[in-house]
Structures are given as C-alpha cells and as structure tokens.
Amino acid sequence: MPKRSRIDVKGSFANGPLQARPLVALLDGRDCSIEMPILKDVATVAFCDAQSTSEIHEKVLNEAVGALMWHTIILTKEDLEKFKALRIIVRIGSGTDNIDVKAAGELGIAVCNVPGYGVEEVADTTMCLILNLYRRTYWLANMVREGKKFTGPEQVREAAHGCARIRGDTLGLVGLGRIGSAVALRAKAFGFNVIFYDPYLPDGIDKSLGLTRVYTLQDLLFQSDCVSLHCTLNEHNHHLINEFTIKQMRPGAFLVNTARGGLVDDETLALALKQGRIRAAALDVHENEPYNVFQGALKDAPNLICTPHAAFFSDASATELREMAATEIRRAIVGNIPEVLRNCVNKEYFMRTPPTAAAGGVAAAVYPEGALHHRAHSTTPHDGPHSTTNLGGSSSSALAPPPPAGANNSVAAAAAAVAAAAAAAAALLPSPVPPNAALPTVPHLSPQVGGMPLGIHLSAPDPNNHLSSSIKSEVKVESTETP
C-alpha cells in the first residue's frame, strides 16, 4: 500500500473538496448513542468495531476525517498512513500510548485525549484496592462464599493473617496529577502519611496539599508501606517496577497499579509475591489486555487482586467521557485546528511560522518553517527543557570575518566580505542547497491553514446521511433514531 505523504495544507484540504458531511468513525466500538446527538448535524457517524486497521472498511480509510477510539486498537505509523483524509483522532480516555503521536503529527493529524474524565472514579477505585490489601476484605469474602466456617478467634486469626492497620503507614504515590492528587486527599482521611514523587511539578505543590515530597524514586520506594502508581506510560518508564526497584521497596510492602499495565514487569512481580517480598498487589491495568487469569506470569501468583481495566467506569463518568470526546471532534469540524482543540497532545506540529521568519536571511530561506526553534512544549513530560538554537554561537557576528585591511571604502571588498559571510553561514547548514532547488516541503501546516475547513452549514439531520447499503455489513452506521 502506498504511503500517505506528509501534507502541506493551504486553505482547503490537499485531497480535494470535502463531501457535504464529513465522515467520523468509531474505530473499536459499536455504541454511538451518546455521540450521535452531538455530531449528527455536522457529520456522518460510522462504527467499525475493529481490533486492527485490517478490519476497517476501505470507505472509512479513504474518507474518514475524524476518528474516535478506545484503548483496544493500536495505531502505528503504518496504520495511520492507511487513512487518506484523516485530520483528527480523539482518544476516548486519557492515555495515548496506543497511538504513534509523533507520526500522526508528521502526517498532519491532530491527536486529542480526554484527561479530565473519571478522576473521582479512578481515585475511589485506587482507595478501594488499597483498603482491600490492608484489610483483606476480598479474600475473606471469598472464604465465606466458599463455605469456610469461622468458629473461633483462632480461625479468624488464621484467615485474616496479613491484615494491617492503616493509620500511621506511609502511602507513596508515583505521580501527582489529577488522579494522584485525588488519591492523596482521600488517603489522608484514612490516616495515611502521604508522600509523592513527581519531578515535573513545581515547588510548593506539597505545601498546598499538605503532603511530603521526595525527589527520587528510590527514596519513595524505601519509605513507603504501600506504593500506588499514577503516571503515564512512555519509553522512559516501561517496567518502572522491575527486579531492581522491587529490591528497593520495603519488605512486605503493598503495590497498587491503576495507571498503565506496562509500568509493571509481571514476571518480577509474580516472583516477589511468591517470595513474600511484596505482601499483596492489586492491578486494574495489565500489560496484555484483556487480562487472562489462566495465562501469563501472574496466573499462579498469590495475594493478587486483578480487575479488568474498569477503574474509570461509572454510569456518570462513561457518559461524561463520551460526550467530551464527541464534543472535541465537533469543535474540530466547525472550527480551526489546533486553535479550537482543548486537549491536543501534538499541537507543536501545528505551530504557526513566527512573523519575523520571513526576514531571517539565508537560514530562514533554507530551513523549514519554525526550524530555527525547538518545540515550545512537548507531550512527553520526560523531554528536557527546550531552548532557542543559536546558529552563530555567542553572537551572530561570529559568522562574518573582518574585512581586509584598507578595504573600508572599496565596493569590491564589501562584496567579498558579504560573500565570505554567506559562505560561513552556509557551512553551518546541514547540506548545500543547489541554486535552482525547490524549497523543502514543510511537514507543518502553513500559516494560512484553516484547520478542518469544512465550513458546514448546520442543518436538520439528513435522513440520507448514511453509508450505502452495499457496505453496511462491514461498516455500520449508527442510526439517528432513538432505539
């Protein structure tokens, strides 16, 4: 399949005139009942119910300008190149580790998420799992269900062995974002001494929340009786909990993960549970999902609670999540990308050219727009601070050698000095540019881009706003009628 080329959009889409109603596809789900009322007057909404792009109908690959997706499908660079008209992807959730965000930006596709949903639900679930580990409620309830009789204190003592008192114990939070902060406030009410490690927060956050801050992961692991993970997953922290870090934890500590499954090395955790180095663990997320209790390294691990990546869910949060995702798609359709988007995680690929770039001389003529500056911000919190590139070292005058002696009033000498300065500047460029060569294509959007220039006139729902019946068996379109 030919690769999708990087786009340089000016005005309307490079792919030609848009259809009257753009196509928006739910890639890995079937239910569009919440999204339809929000999008039905500006777009045709289809659902694909796919687990990979190989299961997505060709019409969606060729015509969809917007995509909604859960966490059950992965979009690599090769997958993204299959979409011919795609301009925006909205992840129905907060994590974007199942999307190649960089490749999407290079292809002119905005990637958005919904970071504000389900904060209370995940924080409540985290506390529920922590309480189960401390009070062993889950295991005790299973014993009763299995018919175990507790005829005296000896039987209770045996069954409840490992129960611990909460007050005075130290809860260590890895990451203090929205959910981490919510967990911290809840945990304090139970009597936990709460500490946290998050190197990307400014000073003073600990003071405002009444928490204790530590500045290395090693310190947090060493001090914590229970460790709870609340950070994103990226290339820097894959298997954050591994053989080395588990050895830094207190013997008999608890571990909770409601963030991302890839943060924990399952094999190392299973061994630590069997050896008793970790007293008990609770996982709502898993590196391989859906989780199968009968397969994998954790299948025989004792003192383990596993739930099916459901910490985010409640009737209220599920509705809120889907409404927020559909509204982001709608903003992209009727407005300009990226200005109208509230949660675009690759906005740096859509940055406009600074007005002064036109007067940037030789370098401005050769480098793509914005190439003289690093990205103003990054979607990956582990990137280091960025700064402006200085092509000329300490001073731009370093590019030009002093003029020859006695040539102050000579036109020829002045021309020679200018030529020498140009040669010195060219020496710093990555490669010589032929005199008649075209300027390099720019992967960024031009200053004239209008985002998704749909210019749609809002109107009543069109009963013909559906895909042809010839493909309904493979690409399903959600009806605008109430079921």
Residues catalogued as catalytic:
260, 289, 309
Q: Categorise residue 455: left if φ over 0, alpha if ψ from -120 to 50, beta otherwise.
A: left
Structure tokens at 113: 């998420």
Task: Provide CB contacts within 8 A for 153, sequence distance 6+.
Answer: none
Q: What span, in angstroms and rounded, lies between the C-alpha atoms of 413 and 415?
A: 5
| Cβ 21 vs Cβ 462: under 8 Å | yes
Q: What span, in angstroms and rounded, lies between the C-alpha atoms of 121 and 258?
A: 11
Q: What span, in angstroms and rounded, lies between the C-alpha atoms of 101 and 110?
A: 8
Omega cis (within 30) before 463? no
Task: Provide CB contacts within 8 A for 39, sequence distance 6+.
Answer: 24, 45, 326, 329, 330, 333
- The SS3 call for residue 227 is strand
Q: What span, in angstroms and rounded, lies between the C-alpha atoms of 144 and 348?
A: 56
| Cβ 162 vs Cβ 187: under 8 Å | no
| Cβ 264 vs Cβ 287: under 8 Å | yes
